[in-house]
Amino acid sequence: MNPAGTSEQIRRAWAIAKKDIRIYYSKGPVLIFGIFMPVFLFLAFYLGGRQLPLPFLLSGLVGMTLFFTSTAVSPAIFPWEGQAKTLERLAACPVTIEAIVLGDMIASVLFGIGVTAVTLLIGLSLGLVLLHGIVFGSAVLLAAVCFSALGMLLAVPPTNVPSNIMMLSSLLKFPLVFISGIFVPLEQMPAWGTALAVFSPLTYFADLVRYSFTGAHYFPVTVDITVLALFTLIFSAGTMRLHRRTMPRRI
């Protein structure tokens, strides 16, 4: 594709992102799984008598918020549009499948960053101190892309029933939260738990968030960023390739 064609597809992807933001973000599943669920999990552990420092838990809340918000919308957009028969109209437009997927990812990235910014402000108001702002900002941007790509990867099965995708999404997301050092420090996990944690992108983002606020970390910062970038590339390439294969079966 020539540069002019590429820029035009990016412009159309941005138009799709604006459409997603306008239509889909007030839906119940988005609000429940993207915003309320991290808060409820945080309160359950904070009020449950666990002797964990508040900065540790607040850092985990920031990590959970970005993870849940960035994956709340992207898995369900294709099923919603397939159910409403709008996906066929979109596919008939002069827009590539990659641009459609990119537009959905951009919407998820913006939503995730926006809600995470609110969570950050709440944490700062409660006494959380941001020690490494550049690391934190870079980690949030990279993880938002990573998690939104993961969400789009969960939307690959060509079903037009949103509940099926949301169930699949929940089956994956909740185990990732509990093995990623959000509520239990990686240092306190058994060997098998640490072995599982290395396969979760949320592990590396949570480690970067904790470093940004407390200065403590489990992996070296360069390792966290490198592995998170690798997950981002794998998820992004995989979702583009797989959606190109399954899109004809949706319409």
* pLDDT tens digits for range 15-48: 888 888 887 776 666 666 666 767 776 776 666 5
- How would residue 128 be classed by pLDDT, with cut points 50, 70 and 90? confident
pLDDT above 60 for 2: no
Highest mean pLDDT, choosing among 144-158, 177-191, 221-235 = 221-235
Mean pLDDT of 108-127: 86
pLDDT at 89: 74
Task: List Cβ<8 Å contacts ≥24 apart for 183-190.
Answer: 183/41, 183/45, 183/50, 183/52, 183/57, 183/60, 185/56, 185/218, 186/218, 187/218
pTM of the predicted model as reported, rounded to 2 decimal places: 0.87
Q: Are 102 and 10 a contacting pair, CB within 8 Å?
A: yes
DSSP string, the chain: --HHHHHHHHHHHHHHHHHHHHHHTTSHHHHIIIIIHHHHHHHHHHTTT----HHHHHHHHHHHHHHHHHTTSHHHHHHHHHHTTHHHHHHTSS--HHHHHHHHHHHHHHHHHHHHHHHHHHHHHTT---S-HHHHHHHHHHHHHHHHHHHHHHT-S--S-HHHHHHHHHHHHHHHHHHTTSSS-GGGS-HHHHHHHTT-HHHHHHHHHHHHHHS--SS-HHHHHHHHHHHHHHHHHHHHHHHHHHHHHH-
* 77 compared with 85, residue with greater pLDDT: 77
What pLDDT is attached to residue 222? 95
- State the pLDDT at residue 234: 95
- Asked if pLDDT for residue 12 goes beyond 90, the answer is no
| Res 149: pLDDT | 93
**Range of weakest confidence among 46-55, 63-72, 127-136:** 46-55
Position 47 scores a pLDDT of: 67
How high is the pLDDT of residue 29? Answer: 60
Q: Rounded mean pLDDT of 126-130? A: 84
Mean pLDDT of 177-193: 87
Question: Is 151 within 8 Å of 169 (Cβ atoms)?
Answer: yes
Give the mean pLDDT of the chain.
83
